[in-house]
């Protein structure tokens, strides 16, 4: 008999695919996501030996190579039998694309007339595992023609096509919306973010991966808004939530991206927001890093702090050490947070306020 | 009606006869403002077999693959995938058209994966800027990121040799801008 009377919670374990950008420029996303999961008692096991998903370059030059890179990682994850979490939408897109067979030519997609396709659930992973373990056929798929299998793969570890293409892959939004995770999150909110008025910015990829064109979820996803409302913020509606930030063109055509960033920030301010919240590292890099460049040309623009969804959740959970992440942002978020009543002690801020 | 190009890339297998040039793809495209040939005209030109015009278009490299064209097309045509396939089929990587700096970036990115298994951003960016001669183009941003400690100055982990070997194997038969030998192609292959 349990003395506390609390039900024993199931242990939650996920395989974690951080991706290259979360280990480099966007390490705050990685650190804050890990911290939030740690606080909620969810263990993230980093996928051992993961490799780059190919970013936007692999599918730009060679769709078959992109599929190979994705399946290599799916094969690694498939061995564990757990659900894979990929916070970066580009990784998520590539992994999900690698799961499907290469799309059949001349196949007209079904358009959703009514309602939304059912969300994918944790329970699906068991079904997926069962499917992936069926005896394979000897013909390699298109993505693996010309690639010799390793000894283990040849021995059948990893499923019919070296990979276990049915490994369930979650993005951060889907991950937090799984009922066991959601319930823990709801109970753990200690510091509702009253006064935070964000716009939710999904970027272009998340809502379109595996989407049914014409369904409401494609043009008007609401995952982030629900998470932000759970954190106590009052979300501002806007029409630019799935617009593109320019992605990797930030490096090759900065002028186009600066233009898009200026438009997004402008529209967010018109919507009455005091910050932008995103779940995409590339959107963050463009929005946060380039606002100052835009400002240099366009003096009218007001700076708007940008947060990762995991940072907002960490603030709402009352985690300490948030400042170590926030002080890396190019647009200073501290004045906004201080106006919401966060003291320096709350945030664990050590350094003095800095100037651009 | 099958389009004039080969069927080996999925994007090229789409039935472009469905396109009635409504322009919804162009209206939704975030990059169309900077494109020389907007998305609906890419589809139109391909239907007319104007392959040479397309191979010299900068749009071919400007597309970021966001998929807005696809989710809004009333006929389910994915211009992004079409463009992905065109890049390879037209061998635009080795061609001399505009947008070669973007092609170079993708090449360097993939070379980086082939060698290291993962991408180390600062190394990749520096290499890209040196190769294209625009080292000072984004200097304020780079300085800002380095000063914040956002970009680690050294690679986060030493590249594991076993990992890169495993990845290298995936690149076999892959050559930039050339036709992959293993693929089943019609006998007309050069």
Task: Locate the chain B residue with the closest alpha carbon to A147.
Answer: B170
Contact B148 A103 (CB under 8 A): no
> Is A303 touching B (CB cutoff 8 A)?
no
Sheet holding A306-308, edge to edge: A198-201, A275-278, A306-308
pLDDT category of residue B1 using cuts at 50, 70 and 90 = very low
Chain B closest-CA separation from residue A327 CA (Å): 7
**B118/A248 touch (CB, cutoff 8 Å), yes or no:** no
B124: nearest CA partner in chain A: A251
Q: Which residues of A touch B156 (CB under 8 A)?
A: 23-24
Q: Any idea which residue has 């030109």 for tokens? A: B45
Taking the CA of residue A122 and the nearest CA in chain B, the distance in Å comes to 27
pLDDT at A12: 86
Which chain A residues have a beta carbon less than 8 Å from that of B141? Answer: 289-290, 293
Nearest CB partner across the interface for B137, out of A63, A214, A254: A254
Highest mean pLDDT pick, A100-104, B25-29, B118-122: B25-29
User: Beta partners for A15?
Assistant: A45, A84
For A272-292, what is each residue's pLDDT tens digit? 999 999 999 999 999 998 888
Is the Cβ–Cβ distance between A257 and A290 less than 8 Å?
Answer: yes
pLDDT attached to residue B152: 61
CA pair distance B90, B100, nearest whole angstrom = 14
Nearest to B15 among A60, A61, A106 (CB): A106
Instruction: Output A125 or A136, whichever has higher pLDDT.
Output: A125
Of A11-25, A104-118, A229-243, the range with the highest mean pLDDT is A229-243
Q: What is the mean pLDDT of residues B117-136?
A: 76
Checking if the pLDDT of A354 tops 60, the result is: no
ipTM entry: 0.80
Residue B12 has pLDDT above 50, yes or no: yes
pLDDT score, position A116: 46
Residue B103: the pLDDT is 84
Inter-chain contacts counted by CB atoms under 8 A, chains A and B:
197
Q: Give the chain A residue whose CA is nearest to the CA of B174.
A: A65
Q: What is the pLDDT of residue A168?
A: 85
Binned at pLDDT 50, 70 and 90, residue A76 comes out as confident
Q: What is the CA radius of gyration of chain B?
A: 19
pLDDT of residue A3: 47
Tell me which of A77 and A165 has the higher pLDDT: A77
For B26-48, what is the mean pLDDT? 92
A259-265: average pLDDT: 92
Report which of residues A132 and B29 the model is more confident about: B29
pTM passes above 0.95: no
**Quick one: pLDDT band at residue B84, thresholds 50, 70, 90?**
confident
Residue B37, Cβ neighbours under 10 Å: how many?
A: 20
**pLDDT score, position A137:** 39
Q: Which of B88, B89, B86 is nearest to B107 (CA)?
A: B88
Could you report the per-residue pLDDT of A319-348, keeping only the tens digit for each? 888 888 898 898 999 999 999 988 877 777
Say what the pLDDT of residue A194 is.
Answer: 92
What's the rounded mean pLDDT across residues B74-91?
A: 84
Of A269, A264, A140, A114, nearest to A203 by C-alpha is: A264
A184 touches chain B (CB under 8 A): no
Q: Mind listing the pLDDT tens digit for each residue in A145-195?
A: 555 555 555 544 444 445 445 678 899 998 999 999 999 999 999 999 999
Cβ pair B144, B171 in contact under 8 A: no
Per the model's pLDDT, the better-predicted residue between B1 and A237 turns out to be A237
Does A117 score more than 60 pLDDT?
no
CA distances from B28 to A214, A240, A312, B16, B69 (A): 14, 11, 30, 19, 6
DSSP B139: H
Please report the pLDDT score of residue A260 as a whole number. 93
Give the pLDDT score at A352: 44
pLDDT value at residue A151: 54
The token duo for A146 is: 């010309």
Cβ contact (<8 Å) for A61 and B107?
A: yes
Contacts of A253 in chain B (CB under 8 A): 34, 62, 102
Q: Among A1-5, A217-221, A330-334, B41-45, name the one with the lowest average pLDDT.
A: A1-5
Smallest Cβ–Cβ distance between B68 and the set A65, A106, A244 belongs to A244
- For the cut 50, the answer to whether the pLDDT of residue A134 exceeds it is no
- pLDDT band at B96, cuts 50/70/90? low
Identify the band that residue A231 occupies on the pLDDT scale cut at 50, 70 and 90: very high
Please report residues of A whose CB lies closer than 8 A to that of B125: 251
**Tokens 């991706």 belong to residue:** A19
- Is A63 close to B180, i.e. CB distance below 8 A? no
Min Cα distance B21 → chain A (Å) is: 17
Which pLDDT score is estimated for B111? 84
Q: How many CB atoms lie within 10 A of CB A189?
A: 15
**Helical segments of A11-150, H only:** 27-39, 57-61, 63-80, 89-99, 124-132
């Amino acid at each position: 008999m349990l003395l506390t009377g609390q039900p024993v919670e199931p242990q939650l374990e996920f395989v974690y695919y951080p991706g290259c950008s979360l280990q480099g420029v966007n390490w705050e996303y990685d650190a804050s996501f890990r911290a939030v999961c740690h606080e909620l008692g969810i263990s993230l096991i980093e996928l051992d030996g993961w490799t780059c998903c190919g970013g936007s370059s692999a599918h730009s030059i060679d769709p078959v190579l992109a599929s190979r890179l994705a399946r290599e990682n799916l094969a690694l994850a498939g061995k564990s039998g757990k659900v894979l979490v990929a916070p970066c939408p580009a990784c998520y897109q590539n992994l999900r694309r690698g799961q499907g067979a290469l799309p059949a030519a001349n196949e007209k997609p079904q358009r959703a007339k009514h309602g939304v396709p059912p969300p994918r659930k944790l329970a699906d992973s068991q079904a997926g595992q069962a499917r992936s373990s069926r005896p394979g056929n000897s013909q390699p798929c298109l993505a693996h023609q010309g690639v010799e299998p390793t000894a283990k793969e040849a021995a059948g570890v990893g499923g019919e096509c070296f990979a276990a293409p049915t490994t369930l892959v979650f993005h951060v939004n889907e991950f937090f919306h799984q009922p066991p995770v959601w319930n823990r999150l709801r109970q753990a909110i200690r510091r509702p973010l009253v006064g935070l008025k964000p716009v939710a910015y999904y970027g272009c990829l998340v809502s379109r991966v595996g989407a049914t064109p014409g369904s409401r979820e494609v043009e008007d996803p609401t995952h982030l808004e629900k998470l932000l409302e759970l954190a106590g913020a009052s979300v501002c509606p806007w029409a630019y939530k799935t617009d593109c930030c320019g992605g990797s063109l930030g490096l090759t055509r900065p002028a186009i991206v600066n233009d898009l960033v200026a438009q997004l920030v402008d529209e967010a301010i018109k919507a009455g927001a005091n910050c932008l919240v995103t779940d995409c590292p590339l959107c963050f890099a463009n929005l946060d890093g380039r606002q100052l460049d835009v400002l240099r040309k366009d003096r009218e623009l007001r700076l708007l702090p940008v947060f990762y969804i995991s940072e907002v959740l960490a603030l709402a959970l009352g985690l300490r050490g948030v400042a170590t992440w926030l002080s890396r942002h190019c647009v200073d978020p501290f004045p906004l947070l201080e106006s919401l009543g966060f003291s320096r002690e709350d945030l664990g801020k050590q350094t003095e306020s800095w100037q651009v | 009606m099958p389009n004039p190009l080969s069927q080996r890339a999925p994007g090229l297998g789409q039935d472009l006869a469905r396109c009635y040039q409504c322009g919804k793809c162009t209206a939704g495209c975030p990059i169309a403002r900077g494109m020389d040939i907007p998305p609906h005209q890419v589809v139109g030109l391909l239907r007319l077999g104007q392959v040479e015009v397309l191979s010299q278009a900068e749009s071919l490299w400007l597309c970021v693959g966001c998929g807005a064209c696809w989710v809004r097309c009333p006929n389910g045509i994915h211009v992004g995938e079409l463009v992905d396939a065109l890049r390879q089929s037209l061998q635009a990587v080795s061609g001399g058209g505009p947008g070669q700096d973007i092609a170079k970036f993708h090449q360097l990115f993939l070379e980086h994966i082939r060698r290291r298994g993962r991408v180390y951003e600062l190394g990749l960016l520096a290499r890209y800027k040196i190769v294209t001669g625009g080292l000072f183009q984004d200097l304020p941003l780079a300085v800002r990121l380095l000063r914040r400690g956002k970009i680690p100055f050294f690679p986060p982990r030493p590249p594991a040799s076993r990992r890169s070997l495993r990845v290298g194997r995936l690149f076999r038969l892959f050559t930039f801008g050339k036709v992959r030998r293993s693929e089943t192609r019609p006998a007309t292959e050069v």
